[in-house]
Structure 1
Amino acid sequence: MKLLVLDGNSLVNRAFYGIKLLTTKDGRPTNAIYGFLNTLQGLMNAHDPDEVAIAWDLKAPTFRHKMYDGYKATRKGMPQELADQMPVLKELLGYLGYPMVSREGYEADDILGTLSAAWGARQDDCLLATGDRDSLQLVSETATVLLTATRMGRSETVVMDLAAVREKYGVEPKQLIQVKSLMGDTSDNIPGVAGIGEKTALALIQKFGTLDGVYEHIDDAAIKPGVRTKLLAHREEALLSRTLATIDCAAPIETGEGTYKRQPGDPAAAAAMLADLEMHSMIGRLGLPEPGAAAPAAAAEVPAACLSPLPESLTGPVYLARGEQGWYAVADGAPYSVEEDRLPALLDGEAELRVFDAKPLYHIALDAGGEGKAITFDGKLAAYLLNPSASEYSVGHLAAEYGVQPAFVCEDCPDAGVLAGLCEALQAKVTADGMDELLRTIELPLARVLADMERYGMQLDGAGLEAFGQTLKTELDACLARIWEAVGYEFNLNSPKQLGQALFDKLGLPPRKKTKSGYSTDAETLESLRGYHPVIEDILQYRVYQKLNSTYVEGLLRQLGPDGRVHSTFIQTETRTGRISSTEPNLQNIPVRTQLGSRLREFFTAKPGWLLADADYSQIELRILAHISGDETMRQAFANGEDIHRSTAAKIYNLPPEMVTPQLRSSAKAVNFGIVYGIGAYSLSQDIGVSVKEADQFIKNYLATFPGVKRYMDDTIAFGQEHGYVATLYGRRRALPELASNNRNVRALGERIAMNTPIQGTAADVIKLAMVRVWQRLREEKLAARLILQVHDELIVETPPEEKEQVARILKEEMQGAANFTVPLTADVGEGFTWREAH
């Protein structure tokens, strides 16, 4: 028989601190719950125990507190965000059928000790899952400690059995009590012997066996005079510490076999609770039924035409989505299958279509020469607007989240019963949140534009790119040869351990930080070593060449289609700011800042005989800041057509613009772009190469020069704190539970997001609106030119030469006319055969 015992408080603490703050849309924190369930499920899958117990501490003082007032007295209280999750987690674990155990006067450690002793007495195995090394004293022939931690959102476990403890510490598990009696424990405020650390404590116990053995041999020559003095001065503290550090293995709890068998619980209640916590993926992972999967009693009376063909004549709206078996529709309260060859007529027909995920349908409509004019609503886009932080948008999970019950049961397509109700629930919520126009005039028409861009793709010079890759490989080989020569031997440059040994052991460079596997050789470390040795430049250059070759050259060549073009997938529901992202290939992050990286744009071309027209907004986020903040000084600078960075530097330093040096302009630029990202003095000092004090003064001068910006920042944070969200000028919302956090760092992050979201999000809305306007205008004027790419604030149109002037005019007019702000939007248009030439 095998028992798994979890130290609940230890594991939930590590989950809370190991996962960034997660919240529901209404601001309830969930990261500790999510992390704990992850850890629990991982342990259950890995060890398949016969019984399982979750041990919890109680608030009541234990025998240790009564013995020593200082016990754990230095510990900070539980953060409110964690305290709020504890009762929720325990209720959920109850629904999942997990036995939980606690006892007034005893800690969870004592429960682990008692259960491991009882199971050991029966020669049964006991696994103790905890993040606390104190429990290592419990390791025995039958008890194993699973040291569990959550790092970067992932659960990690180290198995500590007898052999592992002996190898790591050189003592028996029980002797670790004696070690702690000497070294103490700052986390529990166990005093130990002042001045004796772990190394000395281990050496003493390895030689003399116990604390008593140490004092029996206090005059032994092996004990140094200084250590002897400390031992004699703090004997009482050492004895007290031994008692405090000893886990009680006889707590008054049930220990009989069968006591901790997992119970059936209430799976439906657990699933409903997880849905309420917006942990929809966890429902399936725990094998729970989807909430609302069973139809209400009245639904049995509704005749369900389980996926019979869609009739020709339709009344009212038609709800359309894609399931596992293809496209299905719900019309007049019944589900139907939809053959793909019927979709073009339906998409541009008379029936009003309310769909879930419009982009694939726009693909079908455009392929057939239509536009998908019948589509009036997209549930997936609506769900994204309502919660841009969600990890997924599926009909089943959203129905559970919004409490939509199935109108009928269809075994062939389980989601069909909730599709219509879900779309109506999402529409009502979008309307209530004031985002109808955002959905109708920006997001939904944009889905059509993105579908067309995906279909059309962008020409790629595969042969040229391949040749560029060969050049990079030659440079890589040369770099590697120079590195090996400088170090004096060949090694694997991609191994951080081997590189660390080469730099810090062989060449003697000063190490910056260490990891579990050795010296750190990350980018920050290497940058800090510039100038110490010429080899650093070669290593940094090698990494640049390697990334260019593997990620971009080889990656792009893999994505090159038989038509000589790459067809990126544009994702509309991924970023929290409203920006579009792209994948396979990701065209949003083609490097442009370095000379070598920007060469990649040479290989993106127009098709033979055509040109690329490239239009780029000029400083759109700063223009939005000037408009939204109402700062007259900044508005006037844009209205006068001034160089905003030179103008800013001139005003801050009280200089004529012609006397502003490139360095001063660069500093002003860093503040202009950093201020609404909440840039602090330290970060600015690193960016512009001045002291923290100088950077702090620079920021203060900036905010004094542009008081409207300071007012905007303060007002936006206050709005976010009051309402729990901030919004763009077009009504796009972003929830900010971080602003209500008791954790200063989390709250500061929320403030930075609050300041930035209305600016960056509005810029995203404007570029989307510009895309829709440009796409429509090209079609209205019946041009052959096509919008093929959007990257940040840049639009690219592929055009025949005879249409280039008309295309340039359309780009300029529609981009600059996309919004009517108090400062003008400007777009610069270039042209060329390659992307690099056009930009």
Structure 2
Amino acid sequence: MKKTYIVDGNSLLFRAYYSTAYTGNLMTTKEGIPTNAIFAFHNLIKKIKALLKEEDHLFVSFDTGKETFRKKEFGDYKAQRAPAPQELVCQMPIARELLDAMNICWDEKEGYEGDDLAGSMAKLAIERGEEVRLYTSDKDFLQLLDLSDNITCEILKKGLTETICYTKANLEELFGLRPDQIVDYKGIAGDSSDNYKGIKGVGDKTAMKLLKEHGHLEDIITYAKSHPENKTNQKFIESEKEALFFKSLATIYTDLDMNADFEKSQYRPYEKSKLSAFYRKYQMNHFISVINKMPGMIDDTTHQLSLFDDDLSFQEEKEIAKNRPTRIISSFSEISDPVGAFYLEANGENENTATLLSFLFATHNCIYQLPLKDAKADTSLSAFLADKNKRLAVYDYKSILVLLSRFSFIKLEGVSFDLLLATYLLNPDVGQRVDSLFLSYDISLNPDLNLAIQICSYTLDLKDKVEEELKKNGQEELFSKVELPLANI
């Protein structure tokens, strides 16, 4: 059976924001645009889209943020709620932009809430013979289970990872009510989140008990009128109009025309150019680094100039290799240009246990590679690295020092620039992953080429640019007189 997946966009976006904002340190771009909610929302949506088959549909509903028919009918609707924080509000249009980049259909309709769009889409999908899966953190959606036996509702629990799966069959056991009684319950007990008053003096337990006994609010009122002497019944008689009004208001509208959205919501694979452009715009470097691993990815960049095209990246790497041919040497005395970048090629990610393979030095014209077996007998190597006038550029000074500590005769003294350290000062959010760091400079490392040689070469390429950024930011002295010397401790 085909499936239609329906996501409550506002609900999940709010949950994504608050589950990542509690620390007080929001993830932002260099320009200060908050992206913490987008980051978490992206991961949720990606997990859902990964479930789809080609014949399935995926739709995300949103509120417009403007007045709805419920507000017109009840002026105090949600009036008690505090305004959403501005840091979240500014991410709402970005969430829609993200969905466009992910080739996912979304919509909003003036006068209605996202719930009404979701409910109408669910009803249409059922009429089309599809199974429906709802994703939300709003229990109002449970009423939609009454549309069919082929609907499931995944309610997010606290956080972003755990859900409770409700169906028409298990709702009464798990929640205490049938799907068709959800709005009756709200009419009786009220709902503080929506500012529904309910019947004064009738609480949750009484509402549950009476609904089990009588079925629906109207049935309870009919019974109450035939037994007016009971105090509880009297409350239902006195509040009949209000209770029925709030029940009606709590009912999700399911008759919007969603045919166009249904057609647009059929599964579409990711397009590399669209998605990578979004990631770059909002500096989501980790996602860029794993974009090729996303299921259902179409590489539509073959004939475009894009740093994320594998073929182009390979050509660029070959061009760099052509401009800087790698020359294997037996001694550092063969290096004629003393200005350049120094790096170590090692096998292993942990510098404490990695096996050292070779010493690398990139100049503007060449990359020199000294194998370890030759380095042990090269007396010029230690003199070269100990020269304080060299002003070497390196990547990850501290790790290099750890690796070199195995050789008592080698002292690295002439370092004036560390790309990893400088990048961290300029943008701490980039992190220390090699691929993410270089992607922050629009450089894609090629997994088919020697990684150490690429790092050494690009470190030299970026040195002047990054030093200029440090200078512009007033961090030049902090870098050279504080941070860099501390790496040598």
1:378 maps to 418
The equivalences for 1:400-479 within 5 A come to 400-403=439-442, 411-413=449-451, 418-449=458-489
- Rounded to whole Å, the distance in 2 between the matches of 1:79 and 1:31 is 13
8 A Cα contact 2:171 2:179, kept in partner: yes
- Rounded to whole Å, the distance in 2 between the matches of 1:212 and 1:353 is 83
Say yes or no: does 1:62 pair with 2:68.
Answer: yes
Say yes or no: does 1:317 pair with 2:339.
Answer: yes
1:245 maps to 250
3-state SS of paired residue (1:40): helix
Shift of 1:123: 3.4
2:307 maps to 292
Aligned residue pairs, count: 444
Which residue of the other structure, out of 394, 398, 405, is the alignment partner of 1:366? Answer: 405
Cα distance per residue 1:296-330 (max 9 Å; x no partner): 99887652557553683242532234678666553
Say yes or no: does 1:228 pair with 2:233.
Answer: yes
1:715 maps to none
Which residue of the other structure, out of 348, 351, 363, is the alignment partner of 1:331? Answer: 363
Which residue of the other structure, out of 386, 390, 393, is the alignment partner of 1:348? Answer: 386
- Rounded to whole Å, the distance in 2 between the matches of 1:364 and 1:90 is 47
Which residue of the other structure, out of 26, 31, 39, is the alignment partner of 2:44? Answer: 39
- Rounded to whole Å, the distance in 1 between the matches of 2:158 and 2:260 is 29
- Please say which structure displays the higher CA radius of gyration: 1
8 A Cα contact 1:6 1:53, kept in partner: yes
Say yes or no: does 1:134 pair with 2:140.
Answer: yes
1:148 maps to 156
- Rounded to whole Å, the distance in 2 between the matches of 1:69 and 1:255 is 32
Q: Compared with structure 1, are the counterparts of its residues 56 and 162 closer, same or farther at alpha carbon in structure 2 (3 Å cutoff)?
A: same
The equivalences for 1:617-766 within 5 A come to none
Which residue of the other structure, out of 88, 92, 99, is the alignment partner of 1:93? Answer: 99
8 A Cα contact 1:378 1:444, kept in partner: yes
1:6 maps to 7
Equivalent residue letter for 2:33 = R
- Rounded to whole Å, the distance in 1 between the matches of 2:439 and 2:365 is 20
1:15 maps to 16
1:185 maps to 191
8 A Cα contact 2:134 2:154, kept in partner: yes
The equivalences for 1:760-779 within 5 A come to none
Q: Compared with structure 1, are the counterparts of its residues 145 and 256 closer, same or farther at alpha carbon in structure 2 (3 Å cutoff)?
A: same
Equivalent residue letter for 1:156 = E
Which residue of the other structure, out of 417, 427, 432, is the alignment partner of 1:387? Answer: 427
3-state SS of paired residue (1:93): helix
- Rounded to whole Å, the distance in 1 between the matches of 2:240 and 2:182 is 18
Shift of 1:108: 1.0
1:397 maps to 436
2:173 maps to 167
8 A Cα contact 2:105 2:265, kept in partner: yes
- Rounded to whole Å, the distance in 2 between the matches of 1:424 and 1:269 is 31
8 A Cα contact 2:144 2:179, kept in partner: yes
- Rounded to whole Å, the distance in 2 between the matches of 1:409 and 1:15 is 33
3-state SS of paired residue (1:100): strand
- Rounded to whole Å, the distance in 2 between the matches of 1:337 and 1:306 is 10
8 A Cα contact 1:330 1:420, kept in partner: yes
Shift of 1:205: 1.2
- Rounded to whole Å, the distance in 2 between the matches of 1:216 and 1:161 is 30
Shift of 1:374: 2.8
Shift of 1:236: 0.8
- 5+ residue gaps, structure 2, are 348-356
Cα distance per residue 1:416-466 (max 9 Å; x no partner): 6643333333222222223333333333233232xxxxxxxxxxxxxxxxx
Task: Please give the root-mean-square deviation of Cα atoms over the aligned residues, in Å.
Answer: 3.3
Which residue of the other structure, out of 110, 134, 142, is the alignment partner of 1:104? Answer: 110
Say yes or no: does 1:30 pair with 2:62.
Answer: no
Shift of 1:122: 3.3
Cα distance per residue 1:14-43 (max 9 Å; x no partner): 111121232234422111111211222233
| TM-score of the aligned structures, taking structure 1 as reference length | 0.48
8 A Cα contact 1:280 1:397, kept in partner: yes
- Rounded to whole Å, the distance in 1 between the matches of 2:435 and 2:229 is 70
Shift of 1:258: 4.8
- Rounded to whole Å, the distance in 1 between the matches of 2:63 and 2:202 is 30
Q: Compared with structure 1, are the counterparts of its residues 256 and 23 closer, same or farther at alpha carbon in structure 2 (3 Å cutoff)?
A: closer
- 5+ residue gaps, structure 1, are 450-839
Q: Which moved more, 1:226-235 or 1:312-321?
A: 312-321
Shift of 1:392: 1.9
- Rounded to whole Å, the distance in 1 between the matches of 2:238 and 2:49 is 48
Q: Compared with structure 1, are the counterparts of its residues 361 and 145 closer, same or farther at alpha carbon in structure 2 (3 Å cutoff)?
A: same
- Rounded to whole Å, the distance in 1 between the matches of 2:222 and 2:100 is 51
Say yes or no: does 1:123 pair with 2:162.
Answer: no
8 A Cα contact 1:274 1:282, kept in partner: yes
- Rounded to whole Å, the distance in 2 between the matches of 1:98 and 1:334 is 47
Q: Which moved more, 1:129-138 or 1:101-110?
A: 101-110
Cα distance per residue 1:776-823 (max 9 Å; x no partner): xxxxxxxxxxxxxxxxxxxxxxxxxxxxxxxxxxxxxxxxxxxxxxxx
Equivalent residue letter for 1:372 = L
The equivalences for 1:573-652 within 5 A come to none
Equivalent residue letter for 2:99 = L
Cα distance per residue 1:356-387 (max 9 Å; x no partner): 11122213433322220132211111122223
Q: Compared with structure 1, are the counterparts of its residues 89 and 339 closer, same or farther at alpha carbon in structure 2 (3 Å cutoff)?
A: farther
- Rounded to whole Å, the distance in 2 between the matches of 1:25 and 1:128 is 36
Cα distance per residue 1:208-241 (max 9 Å; x no partner): 11111111111577x9933222211211111111
Q: Compared with structure 1, are the counterparts of its residues 279 and 257 closer, same or farther at alpha carbon in structure 2 (3 Å cutoff)?
A: closer
- Rounded to whole Å, the distance in 2 between the matches of 1:321 and 1:272 is 31
Q: Compared with structure 1, are the counterparts of its residues 324 and 267 closer, same or farther at alpha carbon in structure 2 (3 Å cutoff)?
A: farther
3-state SS of paired residue (2:132): strand
Cα distance per residue 1:653-674 (max 9 Å; x no partner): xxxxxxxxxxxxxxxxxxxxxx
Equivalent residue letter for 1:427 = E
| TM-score of the aligned structures, taking structure 2 as reference length | 0.80
Identity of aligned residues (%): 27
- Rounded to whole Å, the distance in 2 between the matches of 1:224 and 1:198 is 22
Cα distance per residue 1:760-785 (max 9 Å; x no partner): xxxxxxxxxxxxxxxxxxxxxxxxxx
- Rounded to whole Å, the distance in 2 between the matches of 1:43 and 1:322 is 42
Q: Compared with structure 1, are the counterparts of its residues 304 and 124 closer, same or farther at alpha carbon in structure 2 (3 Å cutoff)?
A: farther
8 A Cα contact 1:23 1:30, kept in partner: yes
- Rounded to whole Å, the distance in 1 between the matches of 2:475 and 2:182 is 61
8 A Cα contact 2:288 2:439, kept in partner: no
8 A Cα contact 2:324 2:365, kept in partner: no
2:396 maps to 357
Equivalent residue letter for 1:187 = S
The equivalences for 1:527-546 within 5 A come to none
Q: Compared with structure 1, are the counterparts of its residues 69 and 36 closer, same or farther at alpha carbon in structure 2 (3 Å cutoff)?
A: same
2:353 maps to none
8 A Cα contact 1:410 1:417, kept in partner: no
Q: Compared with structure 1, are the counterparts of its residues 144 and 336 closer, same or farther at alpha carbon in structure 2 (3 Å cutoff)?
A: farther
Q: Compared with structure 1, are the counterparts of its residues 167 and 399 closer, same or farther at alpha carbon in structure 2 (3 Å cutoff)?
A: same
